A and B are shown apart, each in its own frame.
Chain A
Amino acid sequence: MLELESVTKRFGGLTAVKDVSLRAQAGEILGIIGPNGAGKTTLFNVISGFYAPDGGHVRLDGRDISGLAPHHVCGLGLTRTFQLVKPFGNLSVLDNVMIGALTRLRAVGAAREEARRVIATCRLEAFADSRARSLPIGLRKRLEVARALATRPRLLLLDEVMSGLNATELVEMIGILRRLHADGLGLIVIEHIMAAMMRLAQRIVVLHHGEKIAEGRPDEISRDPRVVDAYLGEEFVLADA
């Protein structure tokens, strides 16, 4: 359903994303990995409308969405989360999620109901009335997912929602994402935690210096010599996956 065709994004002399093409099928979990600075988040920013690409096209269900404003892209069913979470800090968790739900629903009451359902899906019931800024990082990551889900996306872009989680939270998050996938939601996941990625993703795209260097099933990726080279000297070891 999502198709990137030779997408390029430059910042002055730096080409952050170079000629990247990829496809994500409806309901698929696609992983995007790569060392720091590989251009993963920039790619998300281009897909979700925060940056207009300098070259190439982003298509959603065949429609060219390159350069559309993020709120417009969200309206078409594609939403993202932020690596550095951006909760509405002074509002309650419920209000945070409800603001997401109001994108599809006109009535505040209906949106609040919807928000409660989404909060339950993400196991945040106990914190519904807490101020978002009072949550620890693990729960803020989950709030980030809940809020995006409330906009009823068909494709959700998750930017490192598993980093910074402890072991229990990580298991919970993977459980939540698996359930969403089972319900038919498409996910594109940027992650640094290789073990989680290997378990979750059906297909993985590897970025390095802004270019796509490999694409394939997790087991193929972990054996790919170019990928191993790219990660050489990095803190994570693929063999652990």
Chain B
Amino acid sequence: MRHDLPAIVLFGAAALTPLVIRDGFLLDGLVLILLWGAVSGAWNVAGGYAGQVSLGHSAFFGLGAYSAALLATRFHRSPWLGLLVGALLATVAGLIIGYLSNRLKGPYFGLATIAFSQVLLIVASRWRGFTSGSEGIPVPFRPGFWTLGFSSKVPWVYLILALAVGIYLVARYLETSRPGYQLAGVREDEDAAEALGIPCRRLKVAAIAASAALTSVCGGLWAQYVGFVDPFYVFSVDLSIRFALNSIIGGIGTAVGPFVGSLLITSLETYLRATFSDFKAGLIGIYLIIYGCLLIVVVRFVPQGLVGWLGERLRAVGRYARA
């Protein structure tokens, strides 16, 4: 319980915000913070807990976004069904890429995942008859819970918050359960884990598949929220890197880290985009520079991420206070 305190504060604050703030722009920011945190949390299942640092998770995000959008537009099904179909497709994709890249480690695994996301980008942007190709798909707005159409931001806050808490709980499960501990062994030293009776390949592939499925659900909800799916955005390497960076900056392999990273990065980005709009639009790219500098500082000085760093500071203060 004590371990969950930062998350309770974070998610509690998010839950209370719509009661106080009615401003659409700020609530939109909140939804995005929670959503990008949730995707990064999903990425963290493979990248942080299993040590499989993927740079192609936009593949799964895009699969989810397209599944929800296509089921709604082409087959007139509920986007909820789209989430399920997307999760299944992403699980299969995760199993395939996990199996194929099993012997690849470190940067090679990352490169293989980038390639995979780019293959999906080509398919989505060229298969005009089905996916509308590079034009992208507008997701129809049909009001109602079953159709995931809300005219207010408030239901979105709570829906995405539920997703975020769910993904947080998955991460907590990985910190306290048998498969989680075994996965930690695989991440730390695969040979040693094998010798201790842990089926490393199976666990890694399972972690990648679970991570893919969760990422896909996030992608599906994102498509419903934003209302438009652009292949060059949802399958982009930029997006994959964002998923990884939120975790790395917040604290890779920690349950709350991705959300802390997202809080920082997403609010910074939203603020900078808003500040440097209209006549200073030429400066809009400046957030990328700040983003890059922030990353360098974090990796150089707090490689364990903000959560780990803050934890150490707090413990040090605690020791000082007791002494």
Contact residues of A with B, CB < 8 Å?
A: 48-50, 69-71, 74-75, 79-82, 86-91, 95, 98-100, 102-103, 106-108, 111, 147-148, 150-151
CB-CB under 8 A from A91, the residues of chain B are 184, 188
Q: In terms of DSSP, what is the predominant structure of the interface of chain A?
A: loop
B185 near A99 with CB under 8 A, answer: yes
B194 near A88 with CB under 8 A, answer: no
Total A-B pairs in contact (CB under 8 Å)? Answer: 80
A15 to B195, CA, bound (A): 24
A48 to B192, CA, bound (A): 12
Instruction: Decide yes or no whether B182 CB sits under 8 A from chain A.
Output: yes
Instruction: Decide yes or no whether B108 CB sits under 8 A from chain A.
Output: no
The 4 closest A-B pairs by CB, nearest first: A103-B197, A74-B197, A88-B188, A86-B192
CB-CB under 8 A from A79, the residues of chain B are 195-197
Q: Name which residue of chain A comes closest to B188, CB basis.
A: A88
Q: Residues of B within 8 Å of A, CB-based: how many?
A: 19
CB-CB under 8 A from A151, the residues of chain B are 196-197
Known interface pairs A82-B191, A99-B193; 11 further A-B residue pairs with C-beta atoms within 8 A, sorted by A's residue number: A50-B195, A70-B191, A71-B193, A71-B194, A82-B192, A86-B191, A88-B188, A95-B184, A102-B182, A108-B178, A147-B196
- Contact bitstring B178-189, A, C-beta under 8 A = 1, else 0: 100110110011
List 13 interface pairs A-B (beta carbons < 8 Å), by A numbering.
Answer: A49-B194, A69-B194, A71-B198, A71-B199, A71-B200, A74-B197, A75-B197, A82-B192, A89-B188, A99-B185, A99-B193, A103-B196, A151-B197
CB-CB under 8 A from A99, the residues of chain B are 181-182, 184-185, 193, 196, 198
Q: Name which residue of chain A comes closest to B178, CB basis.
A: A102
A87 near B181 with CB under 8 A, answer: no
Known A-B contacts A71-B197, A99-B198; A88 and B192 likewise in contact (beta carbons under 8 Å): yes
A166 to B268, CA, bound (A): 55
Residue from the list B182, B188, B197, B200 in contact with A90, Cβ < 8 A: B188
A82 to B176, CA, bound (A): 27
Instruction: Decide yes or no whether B177 CB sits under 8 A from chain A.
Output: yes
A88 to B188, CA, bound (A): 5
Q: Name which residue of chain A comes closest to B198, CB basis.
A: A71
CB-CB under 8 A from A150, the residues of chain B are 196
Scan residues 158-192 of chain B and give those whose CB is less than 8 A from a CB of chain A: 176-178, 181-182, 184-185, 188-189, 191-192
